[in-house]
Every structure is written in C-alpha cells, then in structure tokens.
Chains A and B, each alone.
Chain A
Amino acid sequence: MSPHLILKVVAKMLIPLIALFGFYVQFHGDFGPGGGFQAGVILAAAVILYALIFGVDAAKKAVPESWIRIGMSFGVLLYGGTGVATWFLGGNFLDYTVFAPHSTHAAGQHWGIFAVELGVLCTVTCAMLAIFYAFGSRIPELSDEDW
C-alpha cells in the first residue's frame, strides 16, 4: 500500500474542484468579485497541490515546463493583441467599444475584458508555476521516512 494514501485520495478529489472554482472566479469576474489574476492563482494552486502530494516530477509531466514559457508569453500576447486589434478597428489602444460600436449594453467592453482577462489568467497561472518549479526543483526529494 502506498504511503500518504488519504492525502492522495483527498487531493485527487479536490484538484478538479479547485480548478473548477478557478474557472468560476475567472468567468464570473465580470459580475462578481474575481478576475484573471485571482483565477490564475487558484488554477496554479491546483497544480501546486498536485506537485506537493505527488511530487514535482509528476506535476512536470502533467504541466511540462516547456508549456510554461509559452503560456506566459501567450497571455501577454493575448492582452496586447486585444489592444492592437482595437487599433486596427480604429479606436484607441484597448478601447473595447470598437468591438461592438452599435451595442446598447456595452457588449464591446464585455468582449474586450473577456479577452484581456483570459490573457491575464494564462500569464498568472504560468508565472506562478514557473516560480514554484524554479524553487521546487532545487530542493532534494524528501524520502518518506523524513515526513
């Protein structure tokens, strides 16, 4: 029987819920408290919990380090790209109104913020994991007797 069985079972139950809550905070951020930064931290916490219970190597298999750099950059590109898109549509930088100029309920602002926050989610999640991997990879593995 593997050690820390309870921890592993409970973590396996919790991790999807944590991730789900992260996405809730992300997509409900328009209407309630939340947004890309908070959601990104929660989502990263799910992976970090996985790493704490199952080891950094297992986490790196699930979320490889090569994704991290791409994810961080992609988020910034999505944010900035939204701004560049508004430029090409004839508005000021990040002037979301141009996405739906005739909308009566500011639909353009909704879409703009949605895209930008998605970029924030991406970058924050990956940056949190990058920091964790950077520090986590330096510590030698604890043997089970040391717990």
Chain B
Amino acid sequence: MNITSLYPQWVFTHGPALLVVLPLMMAVITALLPSKNAVGAKLAWLFTLGTVVVCALLAFALLMQVISHGPVSYAMGGWEPPIGIGYYIDALNAPILLLITVIGTLCMIYALPSIAAEVEPTKRALFYSAFLVSFAGLLGMVATGDAFNVFVFLEVSSISTYVLVAMGASRDRRALTSAYNYLMMGSIGATFFVIGIGFIYMQTGTLNMIDIARVLQDGGVDSRVTKLAFAFIVIGLGLKLAMFPLHTWLPGAYAYAPSFVTAFLAATATKAALYLLLRFSFTIFDPSWDFVAKSLMYLLAGMGIVGMMVASLQAIFQNDIRRVLAFSSVAQVGYMLLGVGMVTTLGLTAGYLHMLNHAIMKGALFIAVGAFWYRFGITQVSDMKGLGKTMPLTMAGFTIAGLSLIGVPGTVGFVSKLALVRAAAENGWWWAVGVIVVTSILAIIYIGRLIEQAYFHPAPKIGNKTVAKNEAPLAMLIPLWILAISAIVLGINAEWTTSLAEAAAHVLSGGPIVEFPHAVGGH
C-alpha cells in the first residue's frame, strides 16, 4: 500500500512552508495562553504536542515524496527562486526534518512530567512557546534553499534555545552562566556564518543556494573571496555543531538546561548544523576544489579525530552524568566529521548514518537521566548506586542506549561504527580504524562506569530502610522505550536508515546542485 496516497495533495505542494509556518504560528498562540493557572500550562502542552505531531506527519509525507518523486521545491510568495526565497527539500535534508520532528514529538510526551517538575507554573506556557520557536527555527534552517534565510532561522532557533537553557535556573543557578556562555559562542558562530554569506553574495550576487552553486561553477574557484567565504562558513557552523576546539559551550548548556531541553537539543540542534555544513561544503561549494577538499580532509577529519580522543577522555573524568554524556556528544560529532572528511560515498554514508543513529541513542540517554533526577534528584555519577533495582525499567532503557553508544553488535551504534570502519579501511586510513577502536574502548569506560554504579552497588539506605523501587512515570518511560527499542530494531535491521543515508550520500557525491527542479511548488 502506498502511504503517500493517504495524504491530501496540498501536503506535497505546500508542505515545506507549512512545516515551518505551523510551529511559528502555534508558538505565538501558545504565548498568548493564560499563564497564571495550571490549566493554561496544560493547554500549552496540548497545543505544542499537537503541533509537533502534525509536523512529524508532514515531514514523513515529504520524505516519502522525495524518495519516490525527487526534490520538492516551494516558492515563497509565488516568487520563483532565485528571485524569491525558495524552499528546497531533497534526500539530504528530508531525513533530518523527520528526525527533528519525531524527536520533538517524543520529547513533548516526556515534557509533561519533566517540565511540571522543573519549570515554574507561570513560565510554562512561555516555555512551550519558546520551544516551538526553536523547533520552527531548526526546521526552517534545514528546509530552506536560501542561504540568508538559513542565517535567519539559525538565529531564530539559537536565541530561543538560549532562553530554554536559561530556564534550567530554577533547578541549578549555573544554567544562567551556561546560557550566557552559549549565547556568546553561538552569536560568534552566527556572525561568522553571516560574514561568510556576505562574501558569497559579494562573489556571486545571489543568495539562492542553487544559484550560488551555478555562479560559483563559473570561475568562483579562483576567487579569494570564495575561499574566505568558505572559511567563515565552516568556522561559524563549526561553532554551532560543536566541532572539537569550538565545543566549549556544549557541556555546560547540556548539563544545566531542563532535562527536556537537553534531550531535544542533544538529538537535533547539532545535527541541523552538521546538515548545513554538508549542504555548503558539497552542494554549494565543490568538494573537488582544492581548498574545499583540503579543509574537509585536514580540518574536519583532523579535528574530528582529535575531538574523538580528547572529548572521550574528558568524559571519563566527569562527575556529573549529563556532563559525561555531553562530552560523549562532542566525541560522537567527531565520528560524523571523520566520515564526512573522507569525502567518499562510503564515508559520507557512514557519517550521515551516525548522525541519525546518534540522535536516537543520545535522546534516550538524556531522557533516562532526566527521569533519574525526576524521581531521586540524581545528577552525580556516584548517586547512581542501586538504580538497577530502584528504577529497573528506566535503567534498562538507559543501558540499551549506552551499549549502543559503545557500539555493541545488535544496536544502531554498531551499525554506524562498522560503516565508518569499513569506509576508513576502504580509504586506506588504518590509523582512523585504530582511533575508532580506541575511542570505543574509552566509551566502554565512561558508559561502563555509569552502568556499574547502577547495577553492582546496593541501593543507598535512608535510616535503616533501603530506598524503595520508584519507577519513572509512564510519560517518561514511553518515549525512552520507543527510542531504546528503535535502537535495537534499527540496529538489527538497518536497511531503512542505511538506504536513507545512502540516498543522502548520493546527493552529496553528485557534486554541486546547479539546476532548479522543474516542478517548482510540487505538482
């Protein structure tokens, strides 16, 4: 049966715009809800959940459309690109849209108990509103086909994310300094990015991605302005995606934000930035140009390798569970960059696959950690003693995702690490294979430490009584287990995710996209 036939036709023609407009409009309506009482907060949650579910359905429809009919493009205001702003969805960004919306949906289910515990009642409606703005920004920067529009949405999502991180202040005051640090680093990143866009505009006189690629192909490679633009864009996006030496904002932001925000950000925000890096390096600039190829190989792969090693080592010595996972995130970004830096179809497939898989496992891990705090106020590794007995289901979900992060066979982590090793071997990068193995051993140490605390230590005693079993609420267990089960299912049968990654790698290795799809605005 063809699933796409269940959708009305306008989904395919207007879907790209609706995907961004809907959360943006709902954010405004949510902000207007009464915030004085609990009913308003509940209503805000319902509105937000409804919005993200509809967005997930839209993203799924668009992905199906892209797979069966090729790229979808949309002309904002009826002005055909390159004159107007065009939205452009192909096999490279459609899976990211689905990823963001699905993770958003799962996190929203989780948000109900989590936000009730972490955010003051009067601020909840506004909190959900800020989340929807951030959500719309992420979708916008992935869906758009206009380079300046990317910057606008990058700022839309970033600024609302700073607010979301700062909301952790009612739990831990350090959230404020973390949010401020993130604000500074993020603004520098956005500034570098927009300077790069400025140089591109100076060189080509256009802002539409396809048009830029077309003009750059006519002699753009010889221009110093083009090289400068590329340098600024790579550094700007490097800050946003937490590339190794530019990652300093990430551990603080992930460790002190409300757990719902951490789970959502860890699974989506850096992925969207990485997508942009891929989009710019491969389909706007040309990876066959010397300076692009060298940057990819030495800068991205090089920094990826260093990040994998250093961040994994740092993760081992953290006391805060969320900081362990945050440093692990920096290391995992290194894996993705390593795959991208190989510039081979296999390497790109592996990097892209790891991006999708990492979202699944990190989402699950952070959701579980939020549940530990929700029940027992646990933030430190040493407090995890006996969690295997007191919260068996939550801890089991955590363990599955943790094993996946290590790369145990039968989980998604194994699939993408194996793909990465094969790509490195094909390239003759045997040292990279060695680094992947070594960092996996480091992952065994930092994840093993958490699991060991939970399963091999008795639960602490209060007075004479051992702490009783106190499982996380259902609204937390459901998203956790959906992610944990998909980590296993997609790990055993990785056909679907691999085919998505291969389609994306196919777009990337096809070189710059210089032709507009003929069916503008769907068909």
162-187 of chain B: CB within 8 A of chain A: none
Knowing A73-B32, A77-B28, the reply to whether A91 touches B78 (Cβ < 8 A) is: yes
Contact A92 B28 (CB under 8 A): no
Contacts of B31 in A (CB 8 A): 69, 72-73
Q: Complex: how many Å from CA A93 to CA B79?
A: 10
- List A residues 69-126 near B (Cβ within 8 Å): 69-70, 72-73, 76-77, 80-81, 83-84, 87, 91-97
Contact B21 A84 (CB under 8 A): yes
- Asked if B76 and A94 make an inter-chain contact with CB atoms under 8 angstroms apart, the answer reads yes
Contact A80 to B28, CB < 8 A, known contacts A92-B17, A93-B21: yes
Question: Which of A80, A92, A97 is the one whose CB lies under 8 Å from B25?
Answer: A80
CB pair A69–B77 under 8 Å, yes or no, is no
Q: Is the interface of A mostly helix, strand, loop or mixed?
A: helix
Provide the residues of chain A in CB contact with B14, threshold 8 Å. Answer: 87, 92-93
Q: Is there an interface contact between B24 and A93, defined as CB atoms closer than 8 Å? A: no
B-contact bits for A29-56, CB 8 A (1 contact / 0 none): 0000000000000000000000000000
Main secondary structure of the interface of B (DSSP, over half): helix
A87–B22 Cα distance when bound, in Å, is 13
For the complex formed, measure the closest distance between the CB of A100 and the CB atoms of chain B, giving whole angstroms: 14
B residues 4-31 touching A (CB-CB < 8 Å):
14, 17-18, 21, 24-25, 28-29, 31
Q: How far is the CA of A73 from the CA of B74 in the complex (A)?
A: 26
**Min CB gap B437→A, angstroms:** 50
From residue B183, how far is it (CB to closest CB) to chain A in Å? 15
Per-position binary interface string of chain B over residues 403-437, scored 1 when its CB falls under 8 Å from any chain A CB and 0 otherwise:
00000000000000000000000000000000000
Asked, given contacts A77-B28, A77-B29, A80-B28, whether A92 binds B21 with beta carbons under 8 Å apart, the answer is no
Contact B78 A97 (CB under 8 A): yes
**Contact of A80 with B77 in the complex, beta carbons under 8 Å:** no
Decide if B32 touches A92 in the complex (CB within 8 Å).
no
Taken together as a complex, chains A and B put the C-alpha atoms of A91 and B24 apart, in Å, by 20
Q: Would B21 and A80 count as touching, CB distance under 8 A?
A: yes
Closest B residue by C-beta to A93: B17
Whether the Cβ atoms of A93 and B28 lie closer than 8 Å is no
> Which residues on the A side are within 8 Å of B189 (C-beta)?
none
List the B side residues contacting A69 at CB < 8 Å. Answer: 31-32
How many Å from the CB of A52 to the closest CB on chain B? 27
B-side contacts of A95, CB under 8 Å: 77-78
Asked whether, in the complex, the Cβ of A96 is within 8 Å of the Cβ of B77, the reply is yes
Q: What is the minimal beta-carbon distance from B10 to any residue of chain A, in angstroms?
A: 8
Report Cα–Cα, A47/B21, bound state, in Å.
32
In the complex, what residues of A have CB within 8 A of residue B78's CB? 91-92, 94-95, 97
- Contacting pair B75 A80 (CB below 8 A): no
Closest residue of chain A to B521, judged by CB? A92
- Closest Cβ of chain B to A116, distance in Å, is 10
Q: Using A69-B32, A76-B25, A92-B521 as known contacts, list a sample of 15 further A-B pairs with CB atoms less than 8 Å apart, ordered by residue number in A.
A: A73-B32, A76-B24, A77-B25, A77-B28, A87-B14, A92-B75, A92-B77, A92-B78, A93-B14, A93-B17, A93-B21, A93-B76, A94-B76, A94-B78, A97-B78
Ranked 4 nearest A-B pairs via Cβ? A95-B78, A94-B77, A93-B17, A92-B78
7 A–B contacts, CB within 8 A, in A order: A72-B31, A73-B29, A76-B28, A92-B75, A92-B76, A93-B74, A96-B77
